[in-house]
Amino acid sequence: MTVTIRDVALAAGVHISTVSRALSAAHKVRPDTRDRVMAAVEALGYRPNPQARSLITGRTHSIGLIVADIANPFFPPLIKAAEGLARQRDYRVFVADTDEDPAIEAELIQALAKQVDGVLLCSPRMTDQQVEQFREQVPMVLVNRQIDGIPAVLMDVGHGSRLAVEHLVGLGHRRLALLAGPRGSWTNKEIRRAVTAAARDHGAQLTVLGPNPPTEQAGRDAADQVLDAGASAVLAYNDLMAIGLMQSLVSRGVAVPAELSVVGIDNIAASRLTTPQLTTVANPTAAAGRAAADMLLQYHGTTRSENGDENGTGAASLTLHTTLVVRESTGPAPAHAP
């Protein structure tokens, strides 16, 4: 029922190896033979079995893309961009979702390792050691995680966070709160580090709240802590949390930004939809997805480590810039604490 290379060979009156050549190394076959083969291919509707092919070539023409949560609006643009680039290069993409769970993450990458030519690991929650271990099993490009010797696409969210703090300080805020993100997140550490430093530099007081799951619900739940902290401005780990926080604030009768300024991170589409519109640090997620896929395919595209540089070549990192998008959720510090 399924048509194989043998059927084509039979129909074209040649040996299967000739069919194989006609399909991959066209120039190694006489034009007229090639034509006969192609005609048979057409007539029978033959499509090579990629499994069989990859069993012998060792390449699957597909890559894995692992994200913490596909329903988090941060990821879809990244995924889409990575897929688009992969498609251009005739690669398939396996997308998997770890539910923010390091154990599932490990399990998935393990399972994927054998089936793909490389893995794009986005915002991993595993430890560095775990990541390094998997990196030995499969070519890998990291997104939003920095580990020595592993190629990565980073977003300088630390810089963006500093801009946010300076924006806030410029508006007169002296007591800040940081609504931190999940534990294993490199981005979270970067933000925390940058915000702490920036607050110190500008003589502002900082309360760090967390860790928290990176969800709207966590943002809602944190409202009381934020209020208790006595801050006049909050920076949240991401827009989702900032949006949830604003909802709780509204329902408690706290005016944003009059009584409390709120800043998010990511610049997801929804951040323009809230009232007030969210001030946020914009992450170039699509560019990151594209760049990461490009890195992975380029790196693997050179038929397994060439360029006379086995260790260095693939290990370059790319850092993309973030920017502060000032909208309506930030304003001058109130004269008195709320």
Partner DNA sequence: ATGAAAGCGCTAACAA
Partner DNA sequence: TTGTTAGCGCTTTCAT
Q: Using CB under 7 A as the criterion, which residues of the chain lie in contact with DNA when the complex forms?
A: 2, 4-6, 13-18, 20-21, 23-24, 28-30, 33-34, 46-49, 52-53, 55-57
Structure tokens that stand for 188 in this block: 């979270």
Nearest to 68, CA basis, from 109, 129, 9:
109
For residue 69, the partner it binds in a second copy, DNA, none, with Cβ less than 5 to 8 A by kind, is a second copy
Least distance in angstroms from the C-beta of 54 to DNA: 8
- Interface with a second copy includes 80 (CB under 8 A)? yes
Per-position x/- string for 179-218, each x denoting binding to a second copy as judged by CB under 8 A, each - no binding = -------------------------------------x--
State in angstroms the smallest separation of the CB of 296 from DNA.
21
Please return the burial class of 187, using the count of CB atoms within 10 Å of its CB with bins 0-12, 13-18 and 19+. Answer: buried
- Among 79, 165, 218, 236, indicate the residue that binds a second copy (CB under 8 A): 79
Q: Which of a second copy, DNA, none binds 103 (CB below 5-8 Å, type-dependent)?
A: none
Helix, strand, coil percent content, the chain, rounded in steps of 5: 45, 15, 40
Shortest spacing between CB 73 and a second copy, in angstroms: 7
252 binds, among a second copy, DNA, none (CB under 5 to 8 A by kind): none
Distance from the Cα of residue 99 to its chain's centroid: 14
**Taken in order 61, 65, 71, 72, is the CA torsion positive or negative?**
negative
Place of tokens 């000032």: 326
Closer residue to DNA in complex, CB, 37/241: 37
Q: Which lies closer to a second copy via its Cβ, residue 96 or residue 320?
A: 96
Closest by Cα among 141, 147, 73, 153 to 321: 153
CB of 309 to a second copy, least distance (A): 19
Using CB under 8 A as the binding rule, whether residue 105 contacts a second copy is answered as no
Q: Given candidates 274, 279, 283, 329, which one binds a second copy under the rule CB under 8 A?
A: 274
Q: Is 24 in the site for a second copy (CB under 8 A)?
A: no
Q: What is the distance between the alpha carbons of residues 71 and 49, in angstroms, rounded to a whole number? A: 33
- Determine, following the binding rule CB under 8 A, whether residue 253 of this chain makes contact with a second copy: no
Answer for which of 25, 27, 32, 114 binds a second copy (CB under 8 A) is 114
Residue 185 CB contacts under 8 Å (≥ 6 apart), including other chains: 123, 125, 144, 214, 237
CB distance 245 to 292 below 8 Å: no
CA atoms within 13 A on the CB side of 192: 16
The answer to whether residues 75 and 214 touch, using CB atoms and an 8 Å cutoff, is no
Interface with a second copy (CB under 8 A):
47, 49-52, 54-55, 60, 62, 69-71, 73, 76-77, 79-80, 83-84, 92-97, 99, 110-115, 216, 243, 269-270, 273-275
